[in-house]
Amino acid sequence: MDKSWHNGEWCRSMRIRLDYTNMMSSRIDMHHGVTDDDITYLEEMGRKAHKDLWERHESGDLGFMSLHNQADELQDIKGAAARLQKRFDNYVVIGIGGSALGNIALNSALNPPYYNELSKDERKEGLKVYFPDNVDPELLRGLLNVIDLTKTVFNVITKSGSTAETLANFLIIREELKKAVGDEYHRHIIVTTDPHKGFLRKLATKEDFRSFSVPENVGGRFSVLSPVGLLSAAVTNVDVDELLAGAAEMHERCSGPDIRSNPALMAAALQYLLYQKMKNIVVMMPYAQALKDIADWFRQLWAESLGKKSDRSGKIVYEGSTPVNALGATDQHSQIQLYIEGPFDKSVIFLTVEKFRENVNIPAAGFQDEDALGYLEGSSLEKLIQTEQYATEWALTKNNRPNCKIIIPEVNAYTIGQLLYMLELQTAYAGELFNVNAFDQPGVEDGKKATYALMGRDGYGSLKQELLTGMDTSSKYIID
């Protein structure tokens, strides 16, 4: 790729920006908005949060903050992607949660809509990509009905190497591959897992699967810029160098402790302040179809990192705002009524795009005298969607609903790298401010154990007994 245009000036013009004007009490009622005093008050906390986080980074604790420096791994990934493109037509990610959401977000953002329906030429030799991130028999059977296994490679992703859903799908796929291609099946499987531990790592050695590593200090939901997300991006020709260059740029921009110039820290501080003002819901609303799945990826990042029963001192806090994904302009016809008129329980983060990669003009068709559509004639879809975003922002503000926007000059690998990494840092800073561990997920253990017990895993016999007796099915609270 020719990167002669890729000079300092271009990079500066591609910096994403945070505009939080409409969160401030100068714009909205002071009961619901943030005051300058609030922010001044947060400055000191922000400095401490920054110091603590970056100390952990420097001690090597937080691998996600170093992922923009992985030149060697990147060569491996690009080399593998090029070879896969020669050999296969389809690339299927077998993974769930943090092993799928980032891949899906990158694909939606950086590949054309209806990508899998394009011809191979139109995809520029990029592979078709599928993300069956569930254990639904109809979904997996449906996938097997549309792909040719002899032309398909499966990337099995689980950091621990023991995720139940991923292993179940893996066992099925492995068997299907054996039927379809015999002894060659191992060439159709790539494993992305812990560098040393776990069942899948062991099996990769034994059965000779190509493998990539999730660095030990990178958690699933912070792994999109590791091989977890990069390989599926690379097989579709996403410029993974640019993704990491964007992340590196954001890393640099967030390296200072001043809340007023560090966008991730400010975004975290604003959410912290709004949570104190009883906003227990945070809506992420991109105005661009391509960014829809980034909001879904963010849901995991925010919910799993900050939804915690105990703070770091062990105090019971039951903390965590609920992230909601929405999409402009679509959800103006679904959610906006509630956001404008309902309880004052939420804030909105818009993602806006200044220049779309395509534009489509609305033709002048002779209806200019029709009140219902004359005003549209001769305009464009880009202008319409941007206008609707601005109109929604204005209406929310007028109704005292705090909102901010992350402005993206154009959707490309460089800006998406910035955005994803900024949201990761924002979440990590929020963990510091809320004083919770943003990197664990103890709350999912109960459900996991119950699944093991009911599936008959060894060592869970007494829990199984408890489960079976605890829940009768002859309840009087059933309407049938």
- Does position 262 interact with a second copy (CB under 8 A)? The reply is yes
Does 437 interact with a second copy (rule: CB under 8 A)? Answer: no
Long-range contacts of 390-393 (CB under 8 A, 24+ apart): 392/328, 392/329, 392/332, 392/336, 392/350, 393/22, 393/350
Q: Report the b/e string of 394-420 with b at 16+ CB within 10 A.
A: eebbeebbbbbbbebbebbbbbbbbbb
- Active-site hit among 249, 304, 393, 424: 304
**Options 138, 333, 341, 445, the catalytic residue:** 333
Instruction: Tell me which stretch binds a second copy (CB under 8 A): 47-55, 56-64, 78-86, 338-346.
Output: 338-346
Cα–Cα distance, 458 to 472 (Å, whole number) = 24
What phi and psi values does residue 346 have, to the nearest 5 degrees?
A: -145, 160
Site for a second copy in 137-156 (CB under 8 A): 137-143, 145-146
Kindly state whether residue 102 participates in binding a second copy, applying the rule CB under 8 A: no
Window of 13-21, 49-57, 61-69, 208-216 that interacts with a second copy by CB under 8 A: 13-21
The HSE-up count of residue 3 (CA atoms within 13 Å, CB side) is 10
How far, CA to CA in Å, does 47 sit from each of 41, 260, 344?
Answer: 11, 11, 29
The residue among 96, 115, 191 whose CA lies nearest residue 153 is 191
Told to check if 5 binds a second copy by CB under 8 A, we report no
Amino acid at 312: R
- In the bound state with a second copy, the residue whose beta carbon lies nearer, of 74 and 281, is 281
Give the residue, chosen from 56, 78, 345, 435, that forms a contact with a second copy under the rule CB under 8 A: 345
314 vs 447 by CB, closer to a second copy: 447
467 touching a second copy, by CB under 8 A: yes
Which letter, b or e, does each residue of 103-122 get, where b requires 16 or more Cβ atoms within 10 Å of its Cβ?
Answer: bbbbbbbbbeeebeeeeeee
* Closest CB to a second copy among residues 66, 162: 162
Residues 384-413 that bind a second copy (CB under 8 A): 384-385, 387-388, 390-392, 394-395, 398-399
In angstroms, give the least distance from the CB of 48 to a second copy.
20
Q: Which of residues 193-252 bind a second copy (CB under 8 A)?
A: 198-199, 220
Binding to a second copy by residue 371, rule CB under 8 A?
A: yes
Q: Which residue has the tokens 């992420």?
A: 284
- Neighbour-count burial of 452, counting CB atoms closer than 10 A to its CB (0-12 exposed, 13-18 middle, 19+ buried): middle
Binding mask 30-69 for a second copy (x = CB under 8 A): ----------------------------------------
Cα angle for residues 54, 56, 57 (degrees, 5° grid):
60
Q: Helix 71-87 vs helix 227-234: angle between axes, to the nearest 10 degrees?
A: 40
Contact in structure between 436 and 308 (CB atoms under 8 Å): yes
Of the two residues 76 and 345, which places its CB atom closer to a second copy in the complex? 345
Helix 137-146 vs helix 164-181: angle between axes, to the nearest 10 degrees?
30
Do residues 402 and 32 touch, judged by C-beta distance below 8 A?
A: yes
Residues 158-177 that bind a second copy (CB under 8 A): 161-165, 167-169, 171-172, 174-175
**Which class for 382: exposed (0-12), middle (13-18), buried (19 or more C-beta within 10 A)?**
middle
Q: Which of 134, 150, 255, 276 binds a second copy (CB under 8 A)?
A: 134
Q: Closest approach of Cβ 448 to a second copy, in Å?
A: 8
181 binds a second copy (CB under 8 A): no
CB 392 within 8 A of CB 340: no
- Site mask for a second copy (CB under 8 A), range 284-313, x = bound: ----xxx--------xx--xx-xxxx----
181 class by beta-carbon count within 10 Å (0-12 exposed, 13-18 middle, 19+ buried) = middle
Stretch of 54-62, 78-86, 227-235, 325-333 lying at the interface with a second copy (CB under 8 A): 325-333
To the query of whether residue 31 is one of the catalytic residues in this protein, the response is: no
Name which of 247 and 404 has its Cβ closer to a second copy: 404
**Position 74 contacts a second copy (CB under 8 A):** no
| Sole window of 2-10, 40-48, 51-59, 372-380 interacting with a second copy (rule: CB under 8 A) | 372-380
Do residues 70 and 241 touch, judged by C-beta distance below 8 A? no
Q: Which of 189, 225, 336, 351 binds a second copy (CB under 8 A)?
A: 336
Can residue 1 be called a binding residue for a second copy (CB under 8 A)?
no
Binding of residue 78 to a second copy (CB under 8 A) = no
Question: Does 71 participate in binding a second copy (rule CB under 8 A)?
Answer: no
User: Which of 374, 410, 461, 465 is the binder for a second copy (CB under 8 A)?
Assistant: 374
- Helix (H) / strand (E) containing 351: strand 346-355
Decide: is 11 part of the binding site for a second copy (CB under 8 A): no
Pick one of 67, 218, 273, 324: the residue that binds a second copy (CB under 8 A): 324
Stretch that binds a second copy, among 53-61, 69-77, 243-251, 331-339 (CB under 8 A): 331-339
Catalytic residue among 3, 120, 202, 448: 448
- 393 is annotated as an active-site residue: no
Is the bond preceding 81 in cis, omega lying within 30 degrees of 0?
A: no
- For a second copy (CB under 8 A), the number of binding residues is 149
Query: Active site includes 43?
Result: no
- What amino acid occupies position 467? L
Positions marked active-site: 304, 333, 448
